[in-house]
Amino acid sequence: MRRERLKVLGILGEDDKMALTVAQAFTQFKSKLELSQSFQEEVTIHHNAIREWIESYDSAVETKLIGSLQRKTRIQPRSEDVFDIDILVILGNFYNWVSSGGIKPGDALGKIEDIVSEHGTYEKLGLETDNPTITFEYEDNVKVELVPAYLDQIGKAPDGTPTPPIGRGYWIPKNNKWVVSDYDYDAESISTSNENGDGYLIPTIKMLKAAKRNLFPLMKSYHLEVMATSLLPFVVSYFKEQRWQVTYQSLLYNFFLLGKDEVLKTVNISGSKSPSADGYMSIDKKQEFSELFRKIAEYCEKTFTMSDNESIAAWRELFGAPFPASAYYE
């Protein structure tokens, strides 16, 4: 704002620049990670279109956004990225397992495919079954993933394991089995943790996701988000108790410092029905990530004794674009 006012007043010329502090660089970075208006509009248009078609086909079926869009942790994609829109298609209530006359996982996927393929536009886009989703991709690098689901009205898994409370969570087909996922509860838990952490959690998650795609893309976003949710609110609380200033630099450093141990554990959101977020990762891979996080923590720690110019350059190495490339206002 100050720079814009100076430009209007004619005080700044083309060669005049204002040096960035590290804090100001992070403010720019935070802003650039937000979804642009055009992408937000694309999400709305594509979701509304598929929702209108599905619900016109069967008024008993509901849809809702899930994934990072629901959790409000999606970051602005790079030009080469495919932008995924994850949509839950709620086909009804789940009262019986297959052995008691309930629907088979494959039949749920087939039902979604039948509904969508009835629309000529979606059929031409090339429907694919990528368990547990039905997918198709638009020419603008936007990919829609439809997840069939039934609301949990049983309250227990096929093996008898309780999944309370009844009426919350969804059964989705995966590898020809039914798996419960607690999308709404998980999203609300992250939102609540963000509020309790003075609004630092979600912006820091977005920064971590920028580091992930630059340095450790094999880690699943949900895994990273659950780890951050388990660690960062406590860091914010501790800093406030000590009357220390909370900064994104310190939060990122503490995430990796604590994360080197946290990544070795089973990670889930307290009270959630969803499977553990780390279930896809082997022990050996967890140990690799632990060592990587240790190195990143050491790297972050060194930036605290650097000049602003040096620190900004160092953080740019960690995140890549869109972290500011220079120590001056853009």
pLDDT at 120: 65
- What does the buried/exposed string (b/e) look like for 177-197 if buried means 16 or more CB atoms within 10 Å of the residue's CB? ebbbbbbebbbebbeebbeeb
pLDDT at 80: 87
pLDDT at 6: 34
Contacts (Cβ under 8 Å, ≥6 apart) of 86: 65, 66, 67, 68, 69, 70, 133, 145, 147
The closest alpha carbon to 146, from 220, 50, 287, 252, belongs to: 50
Compute the distance between CA of residue 233 and CA of residue 244 in angstroms, rounded to an integer: 14
177-181 and 133-137 as β-strands: parallel, antiparallel, unpaired? unpaired
pLDDT at 220: 97
Structural contact between residues 122 and 136, judged by C-beta atoms closer than 8 angstroms: yes
Query: Which alpha helices (H) appear in the chain, and where do they start and end?
Result: 2-9, 22-33, 37-57, 67-71, 105-117, 120-124, 183-196, 201-215, 221-241, 248-262, 283-303, 308-319
pLDDT at 7: 37
pLDDT at 8: 37
Predicted confidence (pLDDT) per residue in 203-223, tens digit? 999 999 999 999 999 999 999
Predicted confidence (pLDDT) per residue in 53-83, tens digit? 888 888 889 999 999 999 999 999 988 888 9
Copy the structure tokens of residue 245.
Answer: 């200033």
pTM above 0.85, yes or no: yes
pLDDT at 122: 67
pLDDT at 328: 56
Low-confidence ranges of the chain (pLDDT < 50): 1-16
**Which residue is associated with the tokens 């397992």?**
97
Structural contact between residues 175 and 131, judged by C-beta atoms closer than 8 angstroms: yes
Compute the distance between CA of residue 98 and CA of residue 133 in angstroms, rounded to an integer: 20
pLDDT at 257: 98
Structural contact between residues 12 and 307, judged by C-beta atoms closer than 8 angstroms: no
